Chains A and B, each alone.
Chain A
Amino acid sequence: MDKTFNIVISGVGGQGLVTLLKIISQAAFDEGFDVKTSELHGLSQRGGSVEVYIRFGEQVFSPMVPKGQANLIIALEQQEVLNGAQFASKKSIFLINKYQTPTLAVDVGLDEIKQRLADVSKKVFVIPASEICQKKLGNEVVSGIYLLGYAVRKKYLPLPMKSLEEAIKKTMPEKFWELNLKALHLSKT
């Protein structure tokens, strides 16, 4: 019936969620899909919880992912996956960056997070993207791009790597290309 592909990315303000959104939506558009996204700005920029939605398919109506319809949930901060999970179905794929910042309220540890997600989906993957990017590239800001490359390589995101490379070039100033392209391909090595 509805073959829209739905992505929810959750994290905290400043982690580059909007950059990821731009790249994925540009790539999906270049592949000939209709695209709608929604993002948040303002207070949420300052380290608060943020989530953005990206939807692509033949014809997309709402810019918001309907609950129970997320195909791919990416969390750039591990606790934030619990917010992304609100949109999950049994088939959702979860990619969680193993990285934590305090909520300033009650924090939830990784074991507890995994336990809460156990009943939701079997495809929950925790990946130390921040750590790998810091170690290999000296910069953890690209951990989202790393996860994006991972998702494409594993076919969790039905877009060709080539069009994501192009999208990086189209949406970013040239001085950032090298670092981001490296991060995109880093999970292969």
Chain B
Amino acid sequence: MQELTRLQNERVILMGNEAIVRGALESGVQFVSTYPGTPASEIGNLFSEIAKNNDSIYFEFSTNEKTALEAAIGASFSGLKCLVAMKNFGMNVALESLIPFGYTGSKGATVIIVADDPSCHSSAQSEENSRGFAYLSHIPVLEPSDAQECLEFVRLGFQISKRFHLPVIVRTTTRVAHQKAVVQTSGLPKVRPSDAEFIKDKHRFVTMPPRVMEMHQELLDKISIIKLFVEDSDVNYVYGDLSTNTNTKRAGIITSGVAYLHVLEALRMLGKDVPVLKLGFFYPLPEQKIKDFIKPLKKVLIVEELDPYLEKEVAALAKSANPKLVIYGKNILPETGEMNPEIVAGAVAAVVRKKYVVPQSMVEGVKHFPRFCSGAATCPYWRVFAAIKKAVPENTVFGGDIGCYMIAALPPHNLYDYMFCMGSSIGIGHGIAKATNGQQKVVTLIGDGTFFHSGIEALLNAVYNQSNLLAIIVDNRITAMTGHQPNPGMGKAAETDAAPEIKIEEVARALGVKNIKIVDPVDGFDELVTSIQEYYPKNEISVIIAKRICALLEKRQKQ
């Protein structure tokens, strides 16, 4: 992985996330913070290696996305070039700080990577579309389509941020972040070890009324200036030729992100030549360019994944630019799930009136459910769930959380009765326990990583407001699901093997939990069963820490 730092001007195959890292390196990034989440995790994993041997780049795995963003905001205020990376749900956690960051703006240029996952290949909870954050925050959003653009858009993001003193979001999706393609790299700048200084500037960094209202206006003023920049930017361009557009009854296509690549593929499949307006900026949009594009058209097809944001914008612009324009979009394309070449070909064919049958396979597929590791490295969670099954009645309400243990929602376990987002097993369990006057017993499961991310707050609420749930914390000594990143319980951090080890039992005790046990679910299986049985009837909150190292990690440590 060190190869990323050794590349010169070369053509190589890179994954989208690798290209993002390379783009940040080419921009001279100095401060990188992240919280892992698929499909963004490789960015942090790569930087954790790169920063080890590099005294001009600071890197940390923060404890959650909010602290990751806040760390970068502090570094930006101190003048450093910053990169923050997270998956879509992470932005919800960080949102509280994202919005004022638009108001203050950045000092050191700052790029925020947010990775969406249409079709939920590696996400639970929702098919969140992070483009919506543009409307909430007024922070510019770029949408790369391929690995080359991942590199270039990160560089462009840093340039825009430097010039306009605003952070820039680069939004990817699974098929961009985890796409490998040919990428042209450039050389790396010389970055000196940081001599950052926080120079006091209360006018700029303190958001309080009445100043905050001025800041709001300043942000909108910045965006009006950036709009001019966006109109001229060559990352919004027309592919194909409007003048040769005779055999397609004056149709056009507007698209962005990976959908652009599906559009080109679809046009090739159909043997059609339709002009395509490819948008690199999602926010702000090049409104004049869009108007010029749609003006001569009779019909336009908007191809975008998930919500019809672009479609609504185009419809609004068409009112003045071309009121008779027929707009196709979500009326013939799905609003859920990712797109692919055939879906897009079907829509293009309908618009240009060409016969095309979306190929349907007659073969019935299969589904292998993900499972806990077994064999040479058998996951300790098997024993946790066996113990629970043995110890508590079936009518117990089981709350699940986010980590490898969520697999217990699937066959053969089919355990959980509710599952939401990180930390919520305890938060929602508390509400059920209170609503039912403690009559319906709630048992929740949460991992060490997720406990540190956002379980602590929920446990605090459950103690403070006195519910009787039993929280089982499955402590496998690592954040496993996202690819083995360190967390505060391990005594390790990104750049050091000597971080303070935060003990879950001490945290729980400090929060006021009185019933706490630590049990090894493999060697102490019987004790785990009796501990659950002992705490189950209690009319106050209890915590059992089922502590046993992830079997894969153990195997790797031995190798």
Q: B373 interface residue, CB < 8 Å from A?
A: yes
Are A101 and B269 within 8 A (Cβ)?
no
CB of A82 within 8 A of CB of B481, answer no
A117–B370 contact, CB under 8 A?
A: no
User: Is residue B367 within 8 Å, beta carbon to beta carbon, of the partner chain?
Assistant: yes
**A91 vs chain B, min Cβ distance (A):** 13
CA of A37 to CA of B362 in the docked complex: distance in angstroms? 25
Q: Which among A21, A62, A86 is the interface contact of B341 at CB below 8 angstroms? A: A62
Q: Most A CB atoms within 10 A — which of B146, B370, B483?
A: B370
For residue B395, CB closer than 8 A to chain A, the reply is no
Chain A, Cβ-Cβ closest to B259: A62
Q: CB of A125 within 8 A of chain B?
A: no
* Residue from B13, B179, B341, B367 in contact with A26 in the complex, judged by beta carbons closer than 8 Å: B13
Count CB-based A-B contacts (< 8 Å).
160
Please tell me if the beta carbons of B268 and A61 are within 8 angstroms of each other in the complex: yes
Q: Identify which of A87, A88, A104 contacts B368 (C-beta below 8 A).
A: A104
In the complex, chain A residues whose CB is within 8 Å of the CB of B123: 42
Judge if A44 is at the interface, Cβ distance under 8 Å.
yes
Interface magnitude class on chain B: 35 or more
Any chain B CB within 8 A of the CB of A49? yes
CA distance A88 to B404 in the complex (A): 33
Tell me whether chain B's interface is mostly helix, strand or loop, or mixed: loop
Indicate whether A9 reaches chain B with its CB closer than 8 angstroms.
no
Cα separation A185 to B372 with both chains bound (whole Å): 34
Q: Which residue of B lies closest to A45 (CB)?
A: B370
Per-position 1/0 for B478-517, Cβ under 8 A of A: 0001110000000000000000000000000000000000
Check B38 against A41 for contact (C-beta < 8 Å). Answer: yes
Contact (Cβ within 8 A) B264 A34: no
Residue among B13, B121, B146, B182 making CB contact with A40, cutoff 8 Å: B121
State the Cβ distance, A110 to closest chain B Cβ, in Å. Answer: 13
Answer whether A116 and B370 are a contact pair too, CB < 8 Å, given A38-B179, A40-B121, A61-B264: no
Fill in one digit per residue for B339-353: 1 if any A CB lies within 8 Å of its CB, else 0.
Answer: 011100100000000
Interface centre among A34, A43, A67, A85 (most CB of B within 10 A): A43
- B38 & A82 in contact (Cβ 8 Å cutoff): no
Task: Please determine whether A44 and B258 come into contact, CB atoms closer than 8 angstroms.
Answer: no
Nearest-neighbour CB distance to chain B for A23, whole angstroms, equals 11
Interface centre among A1, A22, A67, A119 (most CB of B within 10 A): A67
| Size bin of chain A's contact surface | 35 or more
Is B368 a contact of A1 with CB atoms below 8 Å? no
Residue B365 CB within 8 A of the other chain: yes
Smallest Cβ-Cβ distance to A13: which chain B residue: B370
A38 to B175, CA, bound (A): 6
**Residue B209 is within 8 A (CB to CB) of chain A in the complex:** no
Tell whether B394 is near chain A: CB-to-CB under 8 Å. no
Chain A: CB-nearest residue to B11: A29
Q: Are A66 and B269 closer than 8 Å at their CB atoms?
A: yes
CB contact list, B179-236 vs A, under 8 A: 179-182
B480 shortest CB reach to chain A, Å? 9
Chain B window 289-318, contacts with chain A (Cβ cutoff 8 Å), 1 for yes, 0 for no: 000000000000000000000000000000
Evaluate whether A103 and B182 lie within 8 angstroms (CB atoms) in the complex, with A62-B261, A63-B175, A68-B359 already known: no
Write the chain B residue with the least CB distance to A87: B361
B contact residues around A37 at 8 Å (CB): 179-181
Q: Chain A residues in contact with chain B, CB under 8 A?
A: 1-2, 12-13, 21-22, 25-26, 29, 34-49, 60-64, 66-68, 77, 79-80, 82-83, 85-88, 101, 103-106, 108, 116-117, 119-120
- 16 pairs, A vs B, C-beta closer than 8 Å: A1-B271, A29-B13, A37-B180, A41-B39, A43-B121, A44-B122, A44-B370, A61-B261, A61-B264, A62-B262, A66-B265, A66-B341, A67-B358, A87-B361, A103-B368, A120-B362
| Interfacial residues, chain B to chain A (CB-CB below 8 A) | 13, 38-39, 41, 121-123, 146, 174-175, 178-182, 258, 261-262, 264-265, 268-269, 271, 340-342, 345, 358-373, 404, 407, 410-412, 481-483
